[in-house]
Structure formats: structure tokens, C-alpha cells
């Protein structure tokens, strides 16, 4: 029990023993003279799902245990080693029930024959972190021996009549007399992978000696998955005539959080709300299939995965089945409108074609590079020089946030908000304030029950009032820029950056075939979507990159060496080691830690997970980058070399890209981020120019930032740094 999962094994055994004692199946007693106790041995084995690995197996059950009647002997057993009751070390376990305890593969189940009138035994569940759930419903009752057997079920000869009188020592293999009664053992195994399926089991028309109709109906869905059973009234009065009615529920895999009727795992979600990404990452790491289900209020479920096969299925194979999550859409619609981030189908395809064409033109790429270089030389570098000269501490996250906001506004519609100043004194701008407030309030919608924010919106109070005002100011400002740009185009006067995104789009106003180009709301929506897609994500990528580089001196040394070796080259694509270090940084800290979709149809994933129509599904990019299955035992190390290999002829590094469904930082499939190459270009520019002149050092030695996530991966308390001038002889 020294394995990585030993704590879960111990928890399972403790739960088993607690349940045995609480149900009075055993009791702790002294050994009676002349008796010898049985020993005990616990065997723990992990089980993999063969279908996940594409294996085809044929399995037969070669063990069947029968235990009819009661044992007359006194049975004593030693307490299992490592699980001895405190202050009762010398006690033994004495049997009170006849038990058949069976462990088959990853399935544990128990048959209990009470020594009394108790006809229902329910295992108490105290476990948590469960994703693989086995339900065993075992029914035992007496049938007339001359009735036609029910095919497919297990029959044995009973040793008692309905009145409890003994029969004449029947055996399983000898025919029973016509006046004897047979013992029907009906076992129904209903298995859910990740508790995501909905199943219905109906057993009817089982006729007893009195021709009574027995009906059992179990409707098991997310609202009853932890033990709510509905049994037809016709069965209840007949319990006393049953030899046994056993409902046994055992939870074996420990991945999903504890769930309760109606509440689901809401309590766990609330408890872990401040580190939800790390929490779900831990759950996924413990799951054999890298897939779990979280059940919310009233049975609403959400399936999370970090399995590349599932991600490929969602983003490519069944792309049309999985569309934008309705919760996210409702939360962001007031801010993002009908922009490219929220639309699906033909509307998304039309917008993507329009925008991807612009993003790939040389003119637009040159525009982005020009603006980035200017912002670096006129604002960021002077600010760093001033901080070095005055030994001031800067919050690098705040600085990069301002830096990227200025850049994206200039790229989008040719307006410079001057959010970052070359002096140490920073200012606030109405545009930036409105945008940040709108983002914060919109994301608040996505993590709270819709009824809460809808009521506030109806009365225009609280966060909804702030959101309304912020969105109004933001859209009002962008609309004024559109009007200004249109007037400039009509008079052939240039305003702001002549080749900004708006300029190029508005220049197509003569193309009457595309109606969307004339809609001001279309421009506003796309501008806000462009800011969202570039500003926060670029800031996140930069701040985590510089922290990782500053924390790994050998990597930093290699990056600086490459910068000086390529100093005469203007081609950023030659920065192979830097490119690998950026990819490695985003593996550990992806700018967008997870993405959500919603199933438009019933579906089955490659790992066997059943997805019902309307189910919300998320793939956790943060968890995928930290998966030992995908990245090996050294997944936690910052190693750009994992992306590189040496060329045989030259000995130079060569970049080896990863499968986009294993590394979906820029999404994958038809919806791959259209700004991917631009993002790499901007990050390389910033890293090259900054690291050539400066060394970024955490203001506190050994500083470890606290990870926080809203829509993007951020440092909860920022990143305080000191700026040092780099020695030129490196």
C-alpha cells in the first residue's frame, strides 16, 4: 500500500469496515476457548479500461458463490492489519450475518443473509472522489417450483417454505419436489461510467404462488444517483414474504466529488470555487479514463475530460454536435453580442472566413509587428529603464495588461488609449475601465445560478447595473470610432493607424454582397471579441512565461544565447529554442485553461462516456498539460527540450510540434485560433527585445505566484519584480 493511490485504498477499506460494524454484520469480541480465528488479506489491484487503449477482450465470469441458509458455527476473524480498532487491538471480529464477500476485478459486492427479520441491507457510503459507479440490485424471493423459469436469471433451490418451515435438504443439482418452492436470485448489474448515463430498469410480471403481480421499477438519473430508489407500491406489502431484498451500492473508483440528492456536488464546487481549475485537474489525474462527471443542482451534470481522444472527438470528429455552451453564451451575450466567439453554424463560418482572410494578409501581419515594436521601444523599455534606475518594484502582470490593451486597441480600430505610460505613474482610462468591469461582471454571470443575475438584471441593480453601464460605455466609444472612420473614408482622410482592422473592414463597404459589413453592431461585436481574444490571453502568456524563465536560470541562459546568436537576423522564426520555451510555458499555464461546449445530440465518446443531448462538456487544457500520461513523470518540469531534437547534419535544434488534440492551447480542428501565428510573433518580439537588455527578477526570492483563473490563467496577487540591466557580455 505504498502506491500513489494508497490513501484511497485505505479510505476504501476503512469505509468497508465501518459499514460492516455499523450494520452489525460483525462485532468485536474476545476469542472463545477452543476456537481459532481466520486470517485476513486485502489485495488491491488497479484496472484499466481496455477500450481506452483500443484492446478487444473477451471476459467470462468463472466464479459464482452460493451461500444458502445460515452457518451454525461461530466464526471469528482477525482484524485486518493496518485497520485495527483503537484500544481494541486484542479483539476479534465475530460473524453475526452469513456473508459472501466477493472481489471481482474492480467490482466489490456483498451478499448478506440477515439472522433476523431485516430484509433490506444498504451499504453506507462515506467515500468521496468517485467517478466509476457500480450499482448492484439483488432481489431474492420464493417462487413456485412448477412455474416456468425466467430465462437469463440465476435459480437455486430454496431451503424454506413461505411459512419458514424447513425443506428436506434440497441441493442445487437434484430436482425439487413439486410441492417445494424454488429460490430465485435475480441480479441486475447497472454500470455507469462517470455517472453520466441515464438508465431505466424494469422488472415485471414475476408471479408468486398467490399469482400476485410483482413490479420493480428503478428510474436512475442524475437526481437519484446516490441512492434514491422508487419502488412501486405493489412490491412493498410483500417484503415479508421475500427471502431477501438487497439493494447494495458500492463505489470503487475515487474520482468524482461527493454528491448528494438534489444538491449533487454543489457543496464541493462552492468549497473549491477559488481554485476550481486545480481541483478538477486533480480529479482528472486520478481518473483512469481522464474523464469525470460533476453533478450540480437538481441533477444537472457537466462532463469534464483531459483525454486527447475525447478532445479530438469534440473538436473535430463530431464538431457539428458540440456547439457553444449555453451558460457561457447567456453570460457573455450582452458584452460580446453576435461576435465570432459566441456564434455557431453558418454564421460562425461566414465570420471566420472574413476574419481569417484579414489575419493572414502580409499587410495585417506587418501592422501588428509595427505596433508591437513601437509600444516596446516607446513605452515598455523606457519604463523598465526607469524602474532599474530607481530600484522600483513593478507588478509585471499589471504592466503587461496595460501594454497588451494599448496594442490590441491600436490593431483593432487604430486608437491608442495610452493605458501604459513610460513613466512609473500609471493612469486609468474610461475605455479600459469599462472593458475590465464588463469582463468581470459577465464572468460572474457564468459561475452563478442564472436566476440570481436575471433578477438583478430585471431590477437593474448590483452587478447587472455595473455591467449595463460598462457595456454601454464600451459600445458607445467603439461606435464613435466607427463613425469617425467612416467619415475619414468618405473624405479620403486617414485617422489613426491607416491599416487598422476597422480600416480594412470598412473599406469593403462598397461590397454590397456582404450585408454584415454595413452593420455597425457587427463591427462593435467583432472589435470587442478581438480585444477579448488578444488582450487577456497575451497578457497571461507573457506574465507566466517571464516567471518561468526567471525561475529557471539555465533555460534563461540558453534563450539569451540564442538571442545574441540571431542578433543580425530579423526572422523571428529562427528563434527555435525560444519558440519551444513559449510552448512549454503555455503547456503548464495555458492562457485559456479550459473550454466548454454543449452536446446537441446524444453521443458516445471514445472512452465509452455517454453524453446526453444538452449536457455541458468541458475539456481541461490546464489538466492536459500536467498529465503524467501525456508528458511523463517529469511533467512538472519546465523543459523546452521536450519540444526539440538535434538535427543529425548540423547539430542545431529542430522544433517538433505536438498533436493539437494533446496540446489544444490554441484549440484544434475547424475552430483552431486564427490568431495563433500572430500571438507567437508578438511573444517572441517582446521576449527578444526585453531579455536582450533586461533581466526580470522576482522582488521576493523564491516567489511562487498563486494561480487564479477567470476566463484566463492569471496570478491572483500579481507578479512583483525588479528590473536589472543585463550584462552585455552574456
**Among 60-64, 570-574, 601-605, 643-647, where is mean pLDDT lowest?**
60-64
Let me know whether 87 and 21 are in one domain. Answer: yes
One domain for residues 109 and 242: yes
What does the pLDDT look like over 13-72, one tens digit per residue?
776 677 666 656 677 888 777 777 777 666 666 655 555 555 555 443 333 333 333 445
| 403 in the same domain as 256 | no
Domain check: are 321 and 253 in the same one?
Answer: no
Residues 478 and 421 in one domain: yes
| 24 found inside a domain | yes
Query: Do the beta carbons of residue 555 and residue 580 sit within 8 Å?
Result: no
pLDDT of residue 90: 79
Residue 554 has pLDDT above 60, yes or no: yes
Look at residue 589 and tell me if it is in a domain: yes
Establish if 23 belongs to a structural domain. Answer: yes
Residue 253 sits in the same domain as residue 319: no
Residues 305, 252: one domain?
Answer: no
Tell whether 632 is covered by a domain. yes
pLDDT of residue 569: 56
By CB neighbour count within 10 A (0-12 exposed, 13-18 middle, 19+ buried), where does 280 fall? buried
**How does DSSP assign 574-599, residue by residue?**
G-HHHHHHHHHHHHHS-SS-EEEEEE
Q: What is the pTM of this model?
A: 0.67
Query: Which position has the higher pLDDT, 414 or 501?
Result: 414
Secondary structure (3-state) at 475? helix
Q: Which residue among 267, 286, 319 closes a domain?
A: 267
Residue-level pLDDT at 267: 85
Q: For residue 73, what pLDDT is reported?
A: 62
The predicted pLDDT at position 203 comes to 28
What is the four-CA torsion angle of 629, 632, 633, 637, rounded to 10 degrees?
A: -120
306 and 218 within one domain: no
Note the pLDDT tens digit of each residue in 139-180.
333 333 344 443 333 333 334 433 344 444 443 333 333 333
In a domain, 314, yes or no: yes
Contact 190, 220 (CB under 8 A): yes
| Spatial contact of 451 and 298, defined as CB atoms under 8 Å apart | no
Looking at the structure, tell me whether residues 494 and 354 fall in a common domain.
yes
195 and 338 in one domain? no
Expressed as residue numbers, the domain containing 237 is 6-267
Number of domains in the chain: 2
pLDDT for 345 beyond 80: yes
Long-range CB contact pairs, 149-153, < 8 A, 24+: 150/184, 150/186, 150/206, 153/184, 153/185, 153/186, 153/187
673 is in an annotated binding site: yes
| SS3 (DSSP) at 719 | coil
Q: Is 574 within a domain?
A: yes
Instruction: Give the CATH number of the domain where residue 679 resides.
Output: 1.10.630.10
For the chain, give the percent of residues with pLDDT over 90. Answer: 42
Is there a single domain that holds both residue 310 and residue 257? Answer: no
- Say if 281 falls within a structural domain: no
Check residue 5 and give its pLDDT: 58
Domain boundary, last residue among 252, 267, 282: 267
Structure confidence at residue 122 (pLDDT): 29
Q: Are residues 428 and 343 in the same domain?
A: yes
Inside any domain, residue 293: no
Amino acid at each position: 500500500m505504498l502506491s500513489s493511490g494508497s490513501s484511497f485504498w485505505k479510505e476504501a477499506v476503512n469505509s468497508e469496515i465501518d459499514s460492516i460494524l455499523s450494520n452489525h454484520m460483525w462485532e468485536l469480541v474476545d476469542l472463545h476457548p477452543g476456537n481459532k480465528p481466520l486470517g485476513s488479506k486485502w489485495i488491491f489491484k488497479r484496472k484499466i479500461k481496455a477500450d481506452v487503449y483500443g484492446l478487444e477482450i473477451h471476459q467470462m465470469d468463472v466464479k459464482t458463490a452460493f451461500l444458502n441458509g445460515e452457518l451454525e458455527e461461530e466464526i471469528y476473524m482477525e482484524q485486518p492489519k493496518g485497520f485495527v480498532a483503537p484500544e481494541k487491538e486484542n479483539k476479534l471480529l465475530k460473524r453475526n450475518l452469513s456473508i459472501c464477500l466477493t472481489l471481482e476485478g474492480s467490482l466489490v459486492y456483498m451478499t448478506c443473509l440477515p439472522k433476523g427479520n431485516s430484509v433490506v441491507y444498504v451499504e453506507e457510503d462515506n467515500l468521496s472522489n468517485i467517478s466509476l459507479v457500480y450499482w448492484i440490485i439483488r432481489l431474492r424471493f420464493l417462487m413456485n417450483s412448477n412455474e416456468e423459469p425466467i430465462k437469463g436469471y440465476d435459480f437455486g433451490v430454496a431451503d424454506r417454505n413461505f411459512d419458514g418451515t424447513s425443506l428436506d435438504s434440497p441441493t442445487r443439482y437434484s430436482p425439487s419436489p413439486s410441492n417445494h418452492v424454488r429460490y430465485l436470485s435475480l441480479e441486475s448489474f447497472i454500470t455507469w461510467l462517470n455517472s453520466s448515463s441515464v438508465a431505466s430498469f424494469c422488472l415485471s410480471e414475476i408471479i408468486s404462488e398467490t399469482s400476485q403481480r410483482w413490479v420493480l421499477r428503478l428510474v436512475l438519473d442524475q437526481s437519484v444517483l446516490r441512492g434514491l430508489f422508487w419502488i412501486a407500491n405493489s412490491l412493498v406489502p410483500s417484503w415479508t414474504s421475500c427471502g431477501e431484498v438487497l439493494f447494495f451500492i458500492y463505489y470503487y473508483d475515487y474520482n468524482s466529488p461527493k454528491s448528494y440528492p438534489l444538491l449533487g456536488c454543489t457543496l464541493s464546487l462552492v468549497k473549491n470555487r477559488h481554485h476550481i481549475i486545480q481541483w478538477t485537474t486533480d480529479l482528472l489525474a486520478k481518473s483512469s479514463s481522464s474523464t469525470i462527471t460533476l453533478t450540480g443542482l437538481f441533477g444537472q451534470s457537466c462532463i469534464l475530460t483531459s483525454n486527447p481522444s475525447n478532445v479530438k472527438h469534440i473538436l473535430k470528429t463530431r464538431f457539428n454536435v458540440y456547439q457553444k455552451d449555453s451558460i457561457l453564451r447567456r453570460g457573455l451575450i450582452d458584452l460580446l453580442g453576435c461576435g465570432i466567439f459566441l456564434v455557431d453554424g453558418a454564421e460562425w463560418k461566414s465570420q471566420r472566413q472574413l476574419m481569417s482572410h484579414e489575419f493572414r494578409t502580409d499587410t495585417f501581419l506587418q501592422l501588428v509587428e509595427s505596433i508591437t515594436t513601437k509600444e516596446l521601444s516607446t513605452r515598455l523599455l523606457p519604463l523598465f529603464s526607469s524602474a532599474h534606475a530607481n530600484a522600483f518594484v513593478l507588478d509585471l502582470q499589471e504592466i503587461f495588461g496595460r501594454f497588451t490593451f494599448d496594442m490590441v486597441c491600436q490593431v483593432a480600430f487604430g486608437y491608442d488609449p495610452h493605458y501604459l505610460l513610460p513613466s512609473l505613474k500609471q493612469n486609468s482610462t474610461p475605455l479600459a475601465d469599462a472593458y475590465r468591469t464588463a469582463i468581470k461582471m459577465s464572468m460572474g454571470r457564468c459561475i452563478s445560478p442564472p436566476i440570481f443575475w436575471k433578477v438583478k438584471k430585471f431590477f437593474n441593480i448590483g452587478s447587472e447595473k455595473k455591467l449595463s453601464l460598462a457595456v454601454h460605455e464600451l459600445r458607445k466609444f467603439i461606435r464613435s470610432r466607427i463613425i469617425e472612420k467612416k467619415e475619414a473614408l468618405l473624405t479620403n482622410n486617414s485617422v489613426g493607424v491607416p491599416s487598422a482592422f476597422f480600416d480594412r473592414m470598412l473599406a469593403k463597404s462598397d461590397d454590397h454582397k456582404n450585408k454584415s459589413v454595413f452593420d455597425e453592431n457587427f463591427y462593435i461585436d467583432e472589435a470587442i471579441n478581438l480585444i477579448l481574444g488578444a488582450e487577456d490571453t497575451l497578457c497571461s502568456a507573457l506574465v507566466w512565461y517571464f516567471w518561468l524563465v526567471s525561475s529557471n536560470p539555465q533555460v534563461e541562459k540558453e534563450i539569451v544565447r540564442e538571442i545574441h546568436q540571431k542578433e543580425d537576423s530579423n526572422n523571428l522564426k529562427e528563434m527555435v529554442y525560444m519558440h519551444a520555451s513559449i510552448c512549454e510555458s503555455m503547456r503548464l499555464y495555458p492562457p485559456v485553461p479550459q473550454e466548454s461546449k454543449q452536446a446537441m445530440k446524444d453521443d458516445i465518446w471514445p472512452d465509452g462516456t455517454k453524453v446526453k443531448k444538452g449536457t455541458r462538456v468541458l475539456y481541461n487544457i490546464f489538466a492536459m498539460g500536467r498529465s503524467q500520461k501525456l508528458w511523463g513523470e517529469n511533467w512538472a518540469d519546465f523543459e523546452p527540450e521536450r519540444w526539440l531534437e538535434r538535427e543529425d547534419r548540423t547539430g542545431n535544434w529542430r522544433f517538433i510540434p505536438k498533436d493539437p488534440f494533446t496540446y489544444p492551447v490554441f484549440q484544434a480542428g475547424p475552430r483552431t485560433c486564427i490568431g495563433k501565428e500572430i500571438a507567437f510573433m508578438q511573444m517572441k518580439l517582446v521576449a527578444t527585445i526585453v531579455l536582450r537588455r533586461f533581466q526580470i527578477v522576482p522582488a521576493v526570492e523564491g516567489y511562487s505566484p498563486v494561480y487564479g483563473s477567470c476566463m484566463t490563467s492569471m496570478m491572483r496577487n500579481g507578479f512583483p519584480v525588479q528590473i536589472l540591466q543585463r550584462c552585455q557580455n552574456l
